[in-house]
Amino acid sequence: MAGKKLCFDILSMRHKGFRVYQDLFSEVLRRYQLTQMEMDILLFLANNPEYDTASEIVRVRQLTKSHVSASIEQLVQKGMLSRNHDRNNRRVTHLALLPEAEPIVEDGRRCQREFTELLSFGIEAEKLETAEEVMQQMMENMKSYRKKKEEKEDPEL
């Protein structure tokens, strides 16, 4: 019985968390006239410099290719991102934050810190560590499930 409640609680928390996250960002998005997707891309590039292509953003964040592409185009037009072709493979385009994006990224990071503080308020450090370990195991369980499912669908993998 606890498993059913846990499942519901996780899905409910995801939905509520998403709404709180958007609420925390609403003023910053309005100030800079950005969409949440555009902000997410700027923060992703700033926080994960090892991933600097649109395909990596789509893969790592599991976002829709068309939404990422359209948002990148808007950020380029707004002067916040540049595109640079890879020297070894012209089909690969690297993205780089421009100086105009710096204050936006800082405001976005502040929102991310507020969200983290809100989520962890009143929770002991040991309990947070345990929660992280449990969530990591759940993520591994889901990855394992997906891998097994894909192997059943295409035994050649």
> If 0-12 CB within 10 Å is exposed, 13-18 middle and 19+ buried, where does residue 114 land?
middle
Residue 2 in this model has a pLDDT that exceeds 70: no
The structure tokens 């006239």 sit at: 33
**Letter for the amino acid at 65?**
K
Tokens read off for 62: 């599991």
**Whole-angstrom Cα distance, residue 154 to residue 28?**
45
pTM (two decimals)? 0.83
pLDDT band at 112 (very low <50, low <70, confident <90, very high): very high
